[in-house]
Structure 1
Amino acid sequence: MEHIESKVKCYRRKYKRKGKEYTTTQYVINLRKEGVESQGFKCDEDVIITHKSTFESLIDMKKDHEANLKEKESLQKNLSELQVEFNKLKNEYKHVKALLDKKEREVNHLENEVRRLQNMGLFEIILNKLRKKKAIEGEVEEGVK
């Protein structure tokens, strides 16, 4: 921010008009020529005059704002990276979940088969094996013909 420092000087003037005495206060702010020229101020340009403490607080606010913007950009970048990582993990989770579901179905099927075989007698198991063997041999003979 462009700025020039100076002091406000006050002058009290007393004068008389038509027998009455008046007092006025004049405020003067002197600016050094080199300060005005170095800051690029021009004649008839509008300027703002404020207390030095107010100006310093504005400078501090600007610095804080710039720091907040940098932090925001950093956090947004970090968020993007975390979002990518989250999406990868989410896809991996879906894949693992699908595998788990498949394995659970296989386990359930095998448990059902074990229960079925436990409920069958030895004779029924042997008969089923023979039937399956006969069915396979029958398919092989048909394929050979």
Structure 2
Amino acid sequence: MTRTGALLRALGLGVAGGLLARLLMRLVTLVRDEEPSFTLVATAAITTIFVLSAVGAATAGLLPWHWLLRVAVLVVTSFLMAVGAIAIGISELQFVMKDDLTTGQWVAVVGCAAGIWAISAAMPWIGYRWGRRARSRRTTLAAPATA
């Protein structure tokens, strides 16, 4: 995988992850029998946050720096999504606690919240791995041949 390939894959991962998280948010709304108020702008904003996290993580993996500096870049680029995922999860669970839901609805809401958190954790992890893989392959290809 090339550098560009790693970044493009991370871009696709971020878009897919953002849309999947938005779908799970929509399912929570439907489970709670509420009127969905989702807008295209909000969907684009959420997807952008996921893309920034995945591409930022891939970029951190590509950097030829000390591992501690790469981790710092990873944390900085993933911070917004981590805060957003936690805030969204807490707000969803707070609303659910106020509602009178059946056990099945509770299970669905908690499952959707867990899915959003899992997607949020997977974005930087997968992006970083793809960046590291592209960097190590590039290093291997650039190494001089020994006889």
Asked whether the two chains share a fold, i.e. TM above 0.5, the reply is no
TM-score by length of 1: 0.30
TM-score by length of 2: 0.30
Task: Name the structure where helix makes up a greater proportion of residues.
Answer: 2
**Greater RCO (CA < 8 Å, at least 6 residues apart):** 2
